[in-house]
Amino acid sequence: MNIIGLNAFHGDAAACLFVDGKMVAAAEEERFRRIKHWAGFPNQAIEFCLERQNLRLEDIDVIAINSDSNAARSKKLAYALSGNASLKLLREKLLVRKKRQSIPELLEQNFPGQKFSGKVEVVEHHLAHLASAYNMSPFDNATVVSVDGFGDFASSAWGQGNNGKLSLESRVYFPHSLGIFYQAMTQYLGFPHYGDEYKIMGLAPYGEPRFRAEMDKVLIQKSDGSFELDLSYFVHHRNPIGYEWENDAPKVSRLFSDKMADLLGGTRDASQSLTQTHKDIARSVQDAYERAFFNLLNNLHHRHGGKQLALAGGCGMNSVANGKIHLNTPYQDIYVQAAAGDAGGAIGAAQVAAARHGDQQRFIMSHAYWGSSYTDHEITQLCESKRPGFELSGCEYVAGLEIDELVERVSTYLCDGKVVGWFQGAMEWGPRALGNRSILGDPRRSDMKDILNLKIKRRESFRPFAPSVLRECVSDWFESDADVPFMMKVFQIREEKRALIPAVSHVDGSGRLQTVTQAGNDLYHRLISRFYEKTGIPMLLNTSFNENEPVVRQPSEALDCFLRTNMDVLVMGRQLIVRVDNSNL
């Protein structure tokens, strides 16, 4: 069977394609639209998936979407009749439901001349998340957890995966949500955009959890492992949250009430400088989230035992908490899929649909390179057409290097402190650049964070950068020997090593780890290995190849980003472009 999975009409719209039970393509719509977290119908991602396998809509048996408007109907009805929800909120829910029922019409509009005659199948949001975690994991038996904002009237769900069978045990329903708690507090601290929660994770280590008592009034842990919000501090359960669902980045209205400001002492405007109080609130928010999260996990372990955990949902992107699971619960083997958030629900929807049709096969996601790729010929054609512009920009163009020479030259540039744009192979699935759409730097250079933040990434100075580390060297440098191919966990760097790699050591001595293997990414492994031979440091600083935009998808976007920033070197395939004079750095 040919099955397309979708996350649509929500942030991080995405599509994936399974052929005979195996995933062959996956991409987020934002990479095509060039708008972060793009929400709507992912027709360009669908088109990419079809072209990847030379298929048309006529060849697709099932399109599965990670939302079921009929889920939790009795709870929705009871809430609607309770009088707690405004008419505007109810209208918003109905409008979203209507859009999700129009998939056949949208296919007809976006793919003229093609006819989809298969089935459209709906999959409950958290079931899709659970499937995206367990079905992609290497585990036969595991506890499976989804923690999110909201989807299909639930914010969290958990169950068990046993010998390929997934069972859903329980949920936390609207209006209580760990994701809404974290998002509301992110807004409170002056970061209003959808997806800004990672900024709180970066800010938290600069503070102390001195607002723990206040957080415990807002987010309440329960003895059965679940949690509740004190709704007097929130407004999302009464009023529309203001998502713009179509053809734009999602926008969310204020989620917290005025009572939150009374509790914590006033909200921060986005233009206001960060104070120690703001940093302490950020630390207290992360602390409260972690305690509630670990309370859930410990209760699940008490009921089911085992050491293996598969995790998904938007909160599965909280890499700081993920890195502490093995310290605060009995779970020791933790799998977090490359797109743990809503984009990953496309995979789960496809997997559930495959199981319904008897077409599900075991498929372990061992790498994340499922997106667009380009040949050396295509890259060379672009570079040759732009060659006069390189010379005007003070750049040298070197074409068609052999791999050994390419690795040697680039590793030397990195040793010399140069900033390298690295564009190779297939684009990554998920939000992390994992060595194919990356900007690379020397982790030994103490000023590298400032260079990247101010002159290339143009982002807040408190945000850390991640290390890509040779898998075989992890335990020598980190207080863990975990395999983390998708950069989804933060661990402490060994204290005696931190001064050697200041560019990737956060203020609390932590680093968001990506492990790199020869089997997973041979060229990237070779580059890091050569840098290791020259410096004794088995890692590179790795950040996403972008500048306040989605990660670059195609060579022209990489070239544009290189030319408008102060990168020193651009590597695309076997082509090399070097700024001869880059004294700005």
Residue 364 within any structural domain of the chain: no
Residue 369 within any structural domain of the chain: no
Which pLDDT tens digits describe the chain residue by residue (585 residues)? 999 999 998 899 999 999 999 999 999 999 999 999 999 999 999 999 999 999 999 999 999 999 998 888 888 788 777 777 665 665 666 556 665 558 989 999 999 999 999 999 999 999 999 999 999 999 999 999 999 999 999 999 999 999 999 999 999 999 999 999 999 999 999 999 999 999 999 999 999 999 999 999 999 999 999 999 999 999 998 876 665 456 678 888 899 999 999 999 989 999 999 999 999 999 999 999 999 999 999 999 999 999 999 999 999 999 999 999 999 999 999 999 999 999 999 999 999 999 999 988 888 999 999 999 999 999 999 999 998 888 788 899 999 999 999 999 999 999 999 999 999 999 999 999 999 999 999 999 999 988 898 778 878 889 999 999 999 999 999 999 999 999 999 999 999 999 999 999 999 999 999 999 999 999 999 999 999 999 999 999 999 999 989 999 999 999 999 999 989 999 999 999 999 876 544
Query: What is the signed CA dihedral for 30, 35, 38, 43, rounded to 10 degrees?
Result: -50
CB 349 within 8 A of CB 343: no
One domain for residues 192 and 166: yes
One domain for residues 550 and 438: yes
Residue 585 within any structural domain of the chain: no
Residue 278 within any structural domain of the chain: yes
Between CA 210 and CA 230 the distance in angstroms is 20
Residue 564 within any structural domain of the chain: yes
Cβ neighbors of 435 (< 8 A, separation 6 or more) are 422, 424, 468, 514, 516, 521, 524, 542
Residue 370 within any structural domain of the chain: no
Cβ neighbors of 426 (< 8 A, separation 6 or more) are 369, 370, 371, 372, 373, 436
- Tell me which residue of 179, 145, 156, 146 sits closest to 301, measured CA to CA: 145
Three-state SS across 425-494?
CCCECCCCCCCCEEEEECCCCCCHHHHHHHHHHCCCCCCCCEEEEEHHHHHHHECCCCCCCCCCEEEEEC
One domain for residues 107 and 155: no
If 0-12 CB within 10 Å is exposed, 13-18 middle and 19+ buried, where does residue 289 land? Answer: buried
- Tell me which residue of 55, 97, 6 sits closest to 352, measured CA to CA: 6
Between CA 20 and CA 533 the distance in angstroms is 43
For residue 64, what are the domain limits?
2-125+346-356
Cβ atoms < 10 Å from Cβ of 475: 12
One domain for residues 427 and 516: yes
Residue 106 within any structural domain of the chain: yes
- Tell me which residue of 356, 320, 317, 352 sits closest to 132, measured CA to CA: 352
One domain for residues 222 and 190: yes
One domain for residues 454 and 483: yes
One domain for residues 402 and 253: no
Cβ atoms < 10 Å from Cβ of 77: 10
Residue 44 within any structural domain of the chain: yes
The 10 Å CB-count burial string (b at 16+, else e) for 315-353 is bbbbbbbbbbbbeebebebbbbbbbbbbbbbbbbbbbbb
One domain for residues 406 and 463: yes
One domain for residues 163 and 74: no
One domain for residues 394 and 482: yes
CB 506 within 8 A of CB 464: yes
Pull the structure tokens for residue 223: 């003895």
Place of tokens 């780890």: 513
SS3 state of residue 317:
helix
* Number of folded domains that form the chain: 3
CB 212 within 8 A of CB 288: yes
- Of 344, 368, 401, the position where a domain reaches its end is 344
pLDDT value at position 456? Answer: 87
| Helix, strand, coil share (%) of the chain residues, nearest 5 | 40, 20, 40
pLDDT value at position 328? Answer: 98
- Of 290, 322, 344, the position where a domain reaches its end is 344
pLDDT value at position 109? Answer: 94
CB 346 within 8 A of CB 181: no
Which CATH number does the domain housing residue 472 bear? 3.90.870.20
One domain for residues 336 and 385: no
Which CATH number does the domain housing residue 42 bear? 3.30.420.40
One domain for residues 435 and 496: yes
